Every structure is written in C-alpha cells, then in structure tokens.
C-alpha cells in the first residue's frame, strides 16, 4: 500500500500557535502549517502585521487568527495561549519562533540587554510551553511543541552574538528537558536549529556590524543562505505525524555549515 502523504503530513482540525509569525521564518511557518490544514494563530508583538498575515492566509484559503503577544511579558504569553485554546477548545501545536538577535560585545553588554534578550528568546518559550502543556494534558492531546533554536547553540558564530548564542543553547536545553517530562503524555518536543537564513530581522537587529570576513564565514557548503521556507518545511515534519517517534531532538538546517 502506498503511503498516504497528505495524511502523514496533514494537520486538518488542529490548532497551532506560531510566535514571531508576522514576518520572516515565523510567517513562513504559519503559512506552511495553514497550508497543511491547521488553524494557525499568528502571534507577534506587531499586532498590525500579525493581523495582516492572518488575513492574507485567509484570502489564500487557509485559516488563521492574528493575536498580539509580547514574549517578554508573562501575562501576555499566558493570554495568548488561553485565547488560542479558546478558538476551538483545543491546542495541538506550539511553535516558539519569536526571537531577537541584537548584538553586543561582552564588555559592552548590560544586564538589561542580557535580560531582555533572554526574556524573549528563552523565558518566553518556557512560559508558552508551560501554558500549552497545561491545556494539552487536560485535553489528553497528542501535542507537538517545536522550538526554533539556532546552529549558533553549538558553535560560536560571531563574538557579538554571544548573548544570542547562549539563549539559543538554552532553548536546546529547554527542548530536551521538557521532552522527557511530557513524553508520558504523548506530547513531543523538538527543536529546529537554522543556520544563516535571510530574513527581515537580519537587517533590523542592533549592535556592531559584522566584518566582511565574518559574513563570508556564514556561507555554508551548499553555497547559499537558508530561506524561511527551508525552516518551515522542517517544522512541518516536526509538527506532523511524519515525526511520530521523535522527541527531544534537534534538527540542524544550515546547509552543512556545522560540518565546516
């Protein structure tokens, strides 16, 4: 019998939250999950952009709702998960994609800079995961949590990214630790680790500019930067039944950069 690929990768009837979904990788993930049949909550700190992406998905035949969220604010994250669950009294998928990549060298890094970056990149995903698991357990849902980390969790990409790299290493740790705790509930938790991927956020991040030598080092063996769709395809795998026997894992999608 041939494999039923639409069923294997299909998400019809499921509700998914994607944070940081107003642009870049998050938007691509939201569109991909909607294309697979999920009702996608497009969550972002930019409420207007989130609403626009959700509207565009609807116009293209998908199902989406835009909800504003500040991942650095606990009450805002709790409200997001509560509102998403209330849409259809279920929550099946959480994709923690929102993040900031602002740069600073060690000696110039203030505690406020460090705390904000970790509040968004690590503390926010922890809170969202905690709240999502509450609903998934209560509803006996076979939940899927996908955290967007980075290949910089495993190697030093650039000196000014040390705070960012540290936060993403924390996301990998959060993924593995959470996976063990919720496995008995049939909730799977995995991480996707992108390499250099072209997104609008690359051009709005603050901090020291990269040298030409550093920029050249970002180019992987496959000879091109990643595209948001490259990452979204991996998230679909992790969020669907195609990865039914995988949890606590990290998939590095970086064009072979870590092999260098």
In whole angstroms, what is the distance from residue 132 CA to residue 126 CA? 10
In whole angstroms, what is the distance from residue 172 CA to residue 1 CA? 37
Do 40 and 16 contact (CB within 8 A), yes or no? yes
Catalytic residue among 9, 162, 164, 237: 164
Count other C-beta atoms under 10 Å from residue 197's C-beta: 22
Q: Is 186 a catalytic residue?
A: no
In whole angstroms, what is the distance from residue 160 CA to residue 126 CA? 25
Catalytic residues: 164
């Amino acid at each position: 019998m041939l494999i039923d690929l639409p069923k294997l990768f299909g998400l019809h009837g499921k509700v998914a939250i994607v944070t940081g979904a107003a642009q870049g990788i998050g938007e691509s993930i939201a569109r991909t999950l909607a294309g697979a049949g999920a009702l996608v909550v497009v969550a972002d700190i930019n409420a207007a952009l989130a609403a626009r992406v959700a509207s565009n998905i609807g116009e293209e035949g998908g199902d989406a709702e835009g909800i504003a969220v500040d991942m650095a604010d606990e009450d805002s994250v709790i409200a997001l998960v509560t509102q998403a669950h209330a849409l259809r009294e279920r929550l099946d998928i959480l994709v923690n994609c929102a993040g900031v990549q602002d740069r600073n060298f060690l000696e110039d890094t203030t505690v406020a800079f460090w705390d904000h970056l970790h509040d968004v990149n690590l503390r926010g995903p922890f809170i969202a995961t905690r709240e999502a698991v509450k609903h998934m357990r209560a509803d006996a849902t076979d939940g899927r949590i996908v955290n967007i980390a980075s290949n910089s969790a495993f190697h030093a990409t650039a000196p000014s990214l040390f705070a960012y790299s540290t936060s993403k290493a924390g996301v990998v740790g959060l993924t593995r630790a959470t996976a063990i705790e919720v496995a008995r509930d049939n909730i799977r938790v995995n991480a996707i680790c992108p390499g250099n991927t072209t997104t609008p956020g690359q051009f709005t991040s603050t901090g020291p500019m990269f040298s030409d030598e550093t920029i050249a080092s970002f180019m992987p063996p496959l000879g091109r930067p990643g595209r948001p769709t490259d990452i979204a395809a991996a998230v679909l795998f992790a969020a669907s039944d195609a990865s039914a026997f995988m949890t606590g894992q990290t998939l590095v999608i970086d064009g072979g950069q870590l092999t260098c």
